[in-house]
Structure 1
């Protein structure tokens, strides 16, 4: 079984919402947790929250680089892969509005469903998946819509995600602290891309990959296509089939 620990990050200007997950087996997470706790003890930290540490060591760049870089290395050595879904909240609200669809009713629900599908499509199809979330105000809503998530997912994935999600405090769950780092980093990288302003965090911490990260940038065109699918799913399915047939036989005269 694979365990996916999920956390979110948000930016006001530009208005970016990010949901990220870190993925690994029970064995990997057990080893990771032991190493992470040792690192917290060594650096005399109660917990690891990337944004807080970024500010805490703002006057000592070498220390900040050392501490955050060390924890990042632990993530890279123990995580199978990461997943991230990114969207502009204003674009999402503009394109997908006034819907009673349980998945797309809220920005978080939209991101979460995209993350579930992205996870399923990029992991071993034979493995069941257990999602683990930080406890927050939306925990109850996630529980309510989870059965809809399963029902709306492709049949090949439904058995894999049928387990109800688990909710834990990130203060006492080391893998959720790793998810916090990935969501924080993905948000800062997207802000850098949009604003064309280099991020001040050192290159080796922000941009070098120690594990693969599968990303879904839900840009405006993607959202319009999704809206069209919601309004007329049968027509879209038929269009996909027709295009597949055309592609298959386009060389046949």
Structure 2
């Protein structure tokens, strides 16, 4: 018998088959409990967020991107290569990159070189993501309208309203794309999002979602580090710029132009301003006895 070493043709091996690259492994770890074909196409909503507590603004932002797990795995390898390209950085944190002068990983890098790096990174988002999804909650009218409603104080929880809007938008977009019977799993940045606050309302969000949305909601969200699950860095970029745009509107600060030419990535965006919140609370009054958020403990 010939002693021929067993070789795997990487081109013939399914993308989700081990061994995984260091960059892609955290993505496959999230979906590894699904059968192979299902985990490759499993949609992941990668979310980051900012709470901007300002005297005249008060906005709460959640934003991110949706793509199948196999695309996030490819994204992760490309993102790591882009981070490693000169001038190399270990991680993208948008708040550091966009300071003047840049700080953190971008310390000592010129604004021109920073912008070129951001253009490279954004091109990877453009190549691999399916669509973006975001929600902006105006906190002052939320608190005021909730107080006037007579509902328990949890009715003013911005996590509940932001997630309810985001979950519905993502589920309906999946349906519009003809993706039937495939749930969406949610991944949040554990160092940014307050896990306790988010998880405390998740069951209520699922319970209170419209009937056409519930079948599309996946498992309880997971929380990961952004230096491990690299798509969280892309979600951070999206959330930072969305918050910046609202700061420009609400504070009148000068507009900061994108370092890249914005791509035509499909977008699902909601703004829960006073008018939208009035409508939401009117609907809540009609359905009050059936809403889990109003029965939840403080």
- Alpha-carbon separation, structure 2, partners of 1:139 and 1:155: 26
1:161 pairs with 2:205: no
Structure 2 equivalent of residue 82 of structure 1: 132
Given that 2:43 and 2:69 are in contact with CA atoms closer than 8 Å, whether structure 1 keeps it comes out as: yes
- Listed as ranges, the gaps of 5+ residues in structure 2 are 1-41, 289-298
TM-score using structure 2 length: 0.70
Contact 1:150 1:158 in 2 (8 A): yes
**RCO (CA 8 Å, sep 6+): is it higher in 1 or 2?**
1
- Using the size of structure 1 for normalisation, the TM-score is 0.82
1:29 aligns with 2:75: no
**Of residues 154, 161, 168 in structure 2, which corresponds to 1:117?**
168
Q: Are the counterparts in 2 of residues 96 and 223 from structure 1 also a CA contact under 8 Å?
A: no
Q: CA deviation at 1:131?
A: 0.5
Deviation by residue 1:164-190 (Cα, 9 ceiling, x = unmatched): 111111122111111101111111222
Equivalent of residue 242 in structure 2, options 186, 200, 216: 186
CA contact (8 A) 2:159 2:197 kept: no
Cα distance, 1:31 vs. partner?
0.5
Structure 2 distance, partners of 1:29, 1:72, is: 14
Q: Which residue of 2 aligns with 1:229?
A: 283
Counterpart in the other structure of 1:249: none
Task: Quickly say closer, same or farther: Cα 1:191–1:61, change in 2 above 3 A.
Answer: same
Which has the larger share of helix?
Answer: 1
2:18 maps to none
- Whole-angstrom distance in 2 between the partners of 1:143 and 1:92: 20
The equivalent position to 2:91 in structure 1, one of 47, 54, 66, is: 47
C-alpha deviations, 1:211-233, integer Å up to 9, x for none?
Answer: 11211011211111111111223
Between the two proteins, the alignment pairs up a number of residues equal to 231
Aligned to 1:92: 142
**Between Structure 1 and Structure 2, whose CA radius of gyration is higher?**
2
Q: Aligned residue for 1:245?
A: none
- Superposed CA deviations along residues 76-129 of structure 1, whole A, max 9, x for unmatched, are 111100011012211211112363386x34222221221111111212351210
Q: Is the 8 A contact 1:18 1:86 kept in 2?
A: yes
Q: Distance in 2 between matches of 1:209 and 1:10?
A: 26
Q: Residues 118-157 of structure 1: matches in 2 within 5 Å?
A: 118-124=169-175, 125-126=179-180, 127-136=182-191, 138-157=194-213
Query: Quick check: 2:135–2:270 contact (8 Å CA) kept in 1?
Result: yes
Aligned equivalents of 1:154, 1:221: Cα separation in 2: 21
Assess if the C-alpha contact under 8 Å between 2:49 and 2:239 holds in 1. yes
Q: CA deviation at 1:23?
A: 0.4
Show structure 1 runs of 5+ residues with no match.
235-253
2:160–2:205 CA contact under 8 A, matched in 1: no
**CA RMSD after TM alignment:** 2.3
Matched, 1:215 2:265: no
